Amino acid sequence: MFTRSEAVADGVSDGALGRRLQTGMLTRVHPGVYVIEPIRTPDTPLAAALAACTGAVVSHSTAAGLHGFVVPESGVHLTVPKGHHRRLADVTLHESRLLGPSDVTTVRGLSVTTPARTLLDLSTVVRPARFSALLDRQLTQEHPSTDEFLAAFSSWARKGREGSALARRHLPEITDGDPRPQSELERLVDRLLRSSGLMLRRQYRPPWYEGREGIVDFADVPGRTIVEADGRRWHASQIAMATDRTRDRLAATNDWLVVRVTWHEVVHRRQELADELAQIVWSRRRRAA
């Protein structure tokens, strides 16, 4: 697949292009964009459409298919910069002012919206029930991760933007009521613990854990107490939930107590939560002594 300007730059005349079009060696798929028929691939129509539109990226259901989402086929969809006026046969164009480098990735050599941006774009064109099921499935598979989705949402959503209300409706389920990422929750929990006079160790690796997944958010070693900032949404995968429960049981086997706190508690029950944690930690310290 190549453009006329590329051919001319390599010394190919318009006459030579014309002759190859007549013999069937080439096919013009868009104005100024040609395909060499013997080496056409399933991705050729996408590559040709991208070549015909400066600044375009594959998006919506087409991007979803490239990312492995389970969505119905609906032709070729591209997102182009706002004000793009060119139209292509058999290609649906979506204009956007909000498409930055962080929203674009590469799949099979094609410029494609990221999984997170693809989900957000789909919220503007699919039914609520289908979007809910798709969002649940993809976040459960960590494709994209929750933090990736929230970061993309924060730059994508604007008041009155088509589809933003549908995506926003799911935020409480994703974040236990607060759209900030896990790292922010950990920071708030650390502040809450310090306000109660508790100086717990952060990112602690208990003796029985191995690997990155074994690190806990906060640990009081003298009292053998673990505090986890549990920002995982209700729709964390069954595998992830089972992993958490296994970790909790492993801690209990070693006489450690795991206490999980959520966004809702930190934001809406701050003082009560601080008092409860202090009571638990000091009680276990006295027992251990």
Q: 70-104: b or e for each residue (b if 16 or more CB lie within 10 Å)?
A: ebeeeebbbbbeeebeeebeebbbbebeebeeebb
The class (CATH top level) of 182-288 is alpha beta
Instruction: Please write the tens of the pLDDT for every residue from 262-273.
Output: 877 887 888 999
Return all residues near 108 (Cβ < 8 A) that are at least 6 apart.
43, 66
Q: Measured between alpha carbons, how far is 255 from 225 in angstroms, rounded to an integer?
A: 9
pLDDT of residue 157: 73
Question: Residue 8: helix, strand or coil by DSSP?
Answer: helix
**Above 80 in pLDDT, residue 239?**
no
The predicted model scores a pTM of: 0.59
pLDDT of residue 242: 65
pLDDT of residue 160: 55
Instruction: Please write the tens of the pLDDT for every residue from 27-76.
Output: 888 889 998 876 677 888 899 999 999 899 999 999 999 999 988 888 89
233 vs 102, more confident: 102
Q: Which of 4-13, 31-40, 205-214 has maximum average pLDDT?
A: 4-13
Return all residues near 119 (Cβ < 8 A) that are at least 6 apart.
134, 135, 138, 144, 149, 152, 167
Sheet holding 2-3, edge to edge: 2-3, 33-36, 26-30
Residue 231: pLDDT band with limits 50, 70, 90: low
Q: Give me the chain's average pLDDT, please.
A: 85
Report the phi/psi class of residue 141: left, alpha or beta, with left for phi > 0 and alpha for psi in -120 to 50. Answer: alpha
User: Residue ranges of the domains in the chain?
Assistant: 1-40, 57-169, 182-288
DSSP 99-111: --GGGEEEETTEE
The distance of Cα 37 from the centroid of its chain, to the nearest Å, equals: 37
**Above 60 in pLDDT, residue 1?**
yes
The answer to whether 79 and 57 have CB atoms below 8 angstroms apart is yes
How much is the average pLDDT of 182-204?
86
The distance of Cα 288 from the centroid of its chain, to the nearest Å, equals: 43
How much is the average pLDDT of 149-168?
73
Instruction: Please write the tens of the pLDDT for every residue from 103-146.
Output: 999 999 999 999 999 999 999 888 888 888 898 888 877 799 87
